[in-house]
Each structure stands twice: as structure tokens, then as C-alpha cells.
Structure 1
């Protein structure tokens, strides 16, 4: 199990140390501001916003042009004009088209796109929780490893004192060479433990850099753990209302239902209007212009069973999403229950481990005094010191598992967000981009120019 802690650590990591220790809040702010994963999913959300714009555009008329140039030749002699039929011609046509009525299929597509955007927003909140929880874990992991370095250094110092005491007592004949060898062996083990602890610090620094966005200097002890629910039932109630996974599935169910309705309406006809104006000419003879307006009603008669298949497929998608909602609801409730149980266990474990440290320290002090009087051996003292070391290590682990359990429960409740934690960051507002594109503005409109400014602000121009 990866160990994490919650104690103040002030250890020299490089020749340039910041004057102020980095707090957990600082780390969370940095993770929020520098996460590539968040940036990726914000971009995916903006892509979903564009689906709304494209669906809206399908409700509007389109204007396009067709320009052509051709050369024609015929070997049939033209009796009136003489010569042969040949020449270079050119044409230009403007075509305006619009779907006048399609039994609401395009409007349903707009609504489905909007629901997809809302689902993507919930997924983004889930990613935010993941980023912040990884940041908490990275901060506490590094803190723990640094604390273990400090613990190992203190252990090395104490064993060094015991080795010197054993050597002094050996010289006066109070102990045997075996006692000295036992102390030397423990000293070597302590040195190895210190080297391993420093190695873990190096690894945790890399994890920290990846999760937070920079290498740390000194770390401050985290503040009091965030407030969570007062009971398991209360925690589950909050989770069922707020968890982004649940809210996202609820949106995707709506998308599937809208798509099912669209599939049912594919069997109805479509009324399109077309306006066309053009000019055709030959370089050396004549020019002509034309214009036409038409209404076209089209609809399926027989498509080999494709339309009923699409309807059945859409219905199956709705049923699958509803089943997914049930599964996600069960998973959320299970995860909340698991997190709550771990929180209670961690609280009980921490209390017991703290009592163990007190007892182990008392036993060590007594054993050392008895050894000074000749009633205990050096090995007895070393064993007692090891008990203290193990007990303190267990407290470190228990303390930080307890702290991390609060954040784990907060995440399972759907509340591990920058807004809920009141982090001092500029909260990303997904509505800014959405509001700029939802009406599918052209590049030359006032809204289109406003969108350009939004893109510049995002650094995406």
C-alpha cells in the first residue's frame, strides 16, 4: 500500500528553497491550473458545443455556388450558321436550399446535441475530481516519504548512540562482543532503510511533478480534513444528487430517447425548398440567364428494412442507457459505502496506533534504563527501539490514510471540485464558449467576432 502522511516537512531538496512552504491548497490550485487532462476534456466539451451549432445550422437555409467551364465540339455541320458546332462555354449558378418541414427531426437533433453537451459537462466534473484527488495523493505521498526520511534519520541517530554505548560497555567488560555486533547490524539496517526512504522521495517527487505541475520545495502540513457527511445515509443521498457519473448517464438517457424519436420519424417525408439562379454563356456567340424556384417533397417507400432496423436500434440504445443508470447508481452507492467504512476503520486504527506509540516509547525508555543497570542486554534495547520505530511508522500511515479517506469520500459524493473546496482559481466556465457558438454564428457576424475573442482568450486561435 502506498503510504501518505499529514505532518509538516521541512527538508532540503535543492540549493534553492522557497521561503514559504507549499500547502495542500497551493498544490491543488497548481494541479487545477496546469492539468493537461483537464485541458483535453475542456477541448472535447467545446467540440460537443460545436455539435449544437451544426445542428442549429441544419435548420437554416444554405447558399452555395457552382461555377463551370467547358469546351464542346461536334462534327455535325450546322446548316444555317455554317461550320461546325464547337466553342468554349462558362456557367455560374447560385443555389439556395432549405428544409421547410421534416416532422421535427432536425429540431430533435438540436435537443439531442444540447443534452450531449450537458453530459459532457458532467464528465468534465468527473475528470476534475480525478485530477484533484491525484493531486491530494501526490502531495500526501511525498509528505509521507519525507517524513519517513526524518524518522529513519532519527532512528539512525538513536542506534548510533546505542552502538557507542555498547562499545563503551564492551571496553569495560560489561557486555560481550555479540552485543556490539548486534548494534552494528542494526546500524547497517538503519542506513539501508534511510537510503530506501530517500529513494522513495525521489520517486514521489516525479509523481508530484506530474500531478501538480512542478517540483516541490518544502511542504506544509495539510489543514484540517474537509467536512464530509454526518452519516452513511446522508453521504449516499448527496452522492445520488451530485455525482457527475450519475448526472451524465441521466443526460445520455435523454439523448437516446431523442434519437429514438428521430428514428421513428425517418419514415415521414421531407419538404425542401430550392431557389436557383444562373448564367451560361459562350465566349463568341450569346449569353443566357435562368432562375427557378422549386418545392420538393421526398420520402421513403421501401429501403430494404433499414428504417425499422434503425428504430429498433435506437430503442435498444435507450434500454441500454437506462440499464447503465441502474448500474452506475449501484456503483455510486457501493463506493460511498466502501469509502465510509474505510473512513471509520482509519479513525479506529489511528487511535490504536497512537496508543501503541505511547506504550512502545515507555517500554523503550524502561528497557534502556534497565540496560544501564545491567538488567537488560543491548539486543533488548535495540528490539525496543525497533518497536518504537514500527509504531511511529504505523501512526504515519494511519494518520494519512485517515486524511486521504476524507477526500476519497468527498470524491464519491461528487464534491471534490475546485468550487466546493473554494480553491483560489479562476473556475472554468463551460457556458462562455457554448453561449458564443450555440446559435452557429458566421465568421462575419457580431457574434462571430465575439467568438474570435473567446478563442484568443483560450489560446486556440
Structure 2
């Protein structure tokens, strides 16, 4: 009978804790693809497709350039100036009668070289602040990678779950269609009343509504998959075995506090703010530099040409600035205190997230065990109620209620399986291990050192290092 098909389909869906493969084409369920797509395939595509990763990689390169800009302040500065000046005037001379013209047209140019000798260490400290910011931004990029991969897992499991619900609702609709037909036949021979037929019709209408909702949820899941993975889903393989997780929650919390990218990022931020305080204090000290200049001047009216050169050491310092420098130090200290407070918040949030992830994992496992028992009991109950109904001891309503109970049990099992996988990968994310490297995904991982090593010494566009940097940038643009 049709309901036996439903039991068989549900049995295949839960056997061994795995889902059956779900096939999708552009318009919905369709012909299978040549090769089923695995969860690893989907995560590789999510890693390559993510615009969020590209955005934060670019922000990391901005932080790399800040190191280069800070370091450039310690390098010699060579600049030039040029001017041409027309002077107009009339005057009296004791040697001649009448007005004498004093017009002149002078062209001049200077080549100036400057080098910072001493600034109390403010520039060097600024470089260290920029470096700590780079390290923090790198960890933030790892955090973004975790979010991308976790969303990829959820999108993959969401499509499988939605597809299983569609199959379950389709089978249920077919069974209820047969139940309605049987009720109508029994009504025609006087075995049941019109009420029984109406109940079967109402149940079938509800099943069709549930099927429409399931199909809508499947369409939503497909759109989420396309957004996250970068393409519509094909035939999806059952998910792999669950990742290996620490059995002890306290151990997992300790690991997360030590290695989670969010924690490492805020630690670098705290270090950066501590260095910023020292930089603000160093800014109170005088600056000493050396300057050399070569000057050329040509009076175009009189053909007078002159050259000059100078070299000297200059020192500058501020005696009073209305308390602005002291205010800058206090502001830097306040930013340091804010980051320290944030460090406390992040640590507590990470520990809570690990605890929540393990709680969801435990809940999903318990739900699967309970739903399996519920499914077995609901099947036995349905068979008994249906057999009793044929003998006249049960009504059509009893049969429909028993069937609905079995449907609910099957649906709970599907949802619990999805929650189990999402929770397991959620534990990896909460402990900082949901990365392409941690999952051993076959992807070309972004090298955070390559760009930094090329720009940290502030190469010019004409240098060999600058040419190599141009090639790296073009490669990034192609990707």
C-alpha cells in the first residue's frame, strides 16, 4: 500500500543516521547529476565564492599598507620646488634723470633632502602599532572564514532537510489521497458516514498545504545555497560522518579561549593600544632632523645666474599647546581600557558560545534518539489503529490522527538530524577550528604574509619589489 512506501522512504532517510541523497535541478526536483556534490565540495565553493572573504582580505591589505606608511617616515624625504616670479617697479636714481625700471623675471628651483634623526621613538612606536593592527586584522579574517564555512554547512544541510520534508509531504499526500478514496468507497456502501469523508478531505487539504509550505521552504533553501555556495544545488550526497569533537566541555572552552580568532584579535588590539599610549607620550619630546638643499636661481632679464647649497640640523619642540598632548595621552589610555574591557567580554562570549554549541549538540542527539523511538511506536500504533478500523473498532479520525503522529515523528527525525550536523560544526566554529586548513579543504588558501612582505618596506613603483607587487595585485584582481 502507499503508506508502506512512506515507511520505506522514511526508513531510508534515517538509516545509519544519514540522509538520502536529494536531487535538484533548476526547476526543483530533477534528474540526477553525473556526480553527487559532497559537503566538502560545497564548502570549497563557498570559500572561493565568498565576497565577504574578498572584502576582508582587501581590508587586511589596507592594514599592511599602514605599516608601510608608518615605516616611510623613517626614510629620507627628497622633494623639489620650482617658481618663476615677475617683479614690476619704478624708481629714481641719483645718477640719472627720470624714472628707472626695476622690473625683473626670476626663475628658481630647489632640491631638498630631509631625514628624521630623533622624535622620541614616536615613529617607531607607530610602526609597532600598525604591525599589531595587522595581526589583529589577520585574526578577524580567520573569524570571517569561520562564518563563511559555517553558513556553507547550514546552507547544505538546509537544502537536504527541505528536500526530505518535500519527499515526506509528497508521500503523505499520496497516502491521504488513497485514504480519501477508500473513505468515499466505504461511504457509498454505507460503512462510514459523510463525516468520515469530510475528515479525510480536511486532512488531505492540510497535507497539500503542508506540501506547498515544504516546497516553498525548499525554494528558500535553494536561494540560500546559491547565495552562499555560488550556484544552485545539484544532487547532494549524504553528509559525511560528524567531525571529531572534544568530549569535555571545559577542555573545549580552554582551547577556545587560547586559540579562537576573536580572542587573538582583541589581544592584539590591546597590545596596539598599549603601544599607542607610549607613542602619545613620545610625541611630547622634541624632533631632530637634518636637511640639505640645492638652490638654482636665474634672473632672465639680466642673465644673472646663481647657485647655492645648504645643510643643517634643525630641532623643533612644543612648549605649550593648551593641554592637547596630555589629552591625547589620556585618550590613548581610555582606548586601552576599552579594549581591555572588550577582552573580558569576548572571553566570556567565547566560553558561552562553546557551552551553547555543546548544549545544542546534546539536545540534537537526544532528539534523534527520542524521535527514533517515537517513529517505532507511531508505526506500531498506526498499524494497530488501521487494523482496528477495518474491524469497526476505530473511526476514520483515529486512523488519520495515528497517521499524523507518525508524520510528525518522521519530521522530527529529519529536523534533529539537521540540527545535529549544524551543532557539530557550530562546536568547531565556537572553538576556532572551522577553517579551510582545519577541515583540510582542497583550496588555495590566502597567504597573509605575501602581500605584507612585499609592502612592509615601502617599495616604490619603479623598484624590483614594486614590480613584483604589481604582479601580485594583478593576480588578486584576476581571482
Kept after mapping to 2: 8 A contact 1:277/1:289: yes
Kept after mapping to 1: 8 A contact 2:163/2:218: yes
1:347-362 equivalent positions in 2, closer than 5 A: 347-362=365-380
Q: Give the superposition deviation at 1:91.
A: 1.1
1:60-459 equivalent positions in 2, closer than 5 A: 60-77=75-92, 83-285=100-302, 286-459=304-477
Residue 205 to residue 184, structure 1, CA distance change in 2 (3 Å): same
Q: Give the superposition deviation at 1:99.
A: 0.6
Residue 144 to residue 197, structure 1, CA distance change in 2 (3 Å): same
Q: Secondary structure at the match of 1:245?
A: helix
| 147-156 or 265-274: bigger deviation | 265-274
1:23-34 equivalent positions in 2, closer than 5 A: 23-34=38-49
Gaps of 5+ in 2: 1-16
Kept after mapping to 1: 8 A contact 2:63/2:137: yes
What is the aligned counterpart of 2:73 among 41, 51, 58? 58
Q: Give the superposition deviation at 1:257.
A: 0.8
Q: CA RMSD in A?
A: 1.8
Q: Give the superposition deviation at 1:218.
A: 2.1
Kept after mapping to 2: 8 A contact 1:78/1:84: no
Q: Secondary structure at the match of 2:103?
A: strand
Kept after mapping to 2: 8 A contact 1:143/1:219: yes
Kept after mapping to 2: 8 A contact 1:77/1:85: no
Kept after mapping to 1: 8 A contact 2:90/2:100: no
Alignment deviations for residues 132-186 of structure 1 (CA, whole Å, 9 cap, x no partner): 1111111111211111100000101111121122122222222222212211111
| 281-290 or 45-54: bigger deviation | 281-290
The yes-or-no answer on 1:13 pairing with 2:25 is: yes
Distance 1:174 1:133 in 2: 56
Kept after mapping to 1: 8 A contact 2:23/2:31: no
Q: Give the superposition deviation at 1:11.
A: 3.5
Kept after mapping to 1: 8 A contact 2:19/2:238: yes
Distance 2:411 2:347 in 1: 38
TM-score between the two structures when normalised by the length of structure 1: 0.96
Distance 1:393 1:165 in 2: 25
Q: Give the superposition deviation at 1:447.
A: 1.0
Distance 2:377 2:141 in 1: 49
Residue 373 to residue 41, structure 1, CA distance change in 2 (3 Å): same
| 406-415 or 214-223: bigger deviation | 214-223
Alignment deviations for residues 85-111 of structure 1 (CA, whole Å, 9 cap, x no partner): 112221111111111111211111111
TM-score between the two structures when normalised by the length of structure 2: 0.92
Q: How many residues align?
A: 457
Q: Give the superposition deviation at 1:267.
A: 1.8
Q: Give the superposition deviation at 1:7.
A: 1.9
Distance 2:45 2:478 in 1: 21
Alignment deviations for residues 417-442 of structure 1 (CA, whole Å, 9 cap, x no partner): 11101111111111111111111111
The yes-or-no answer on 1:41 pairing with 2:52 is: no
Gaps of 5+ in 1: none
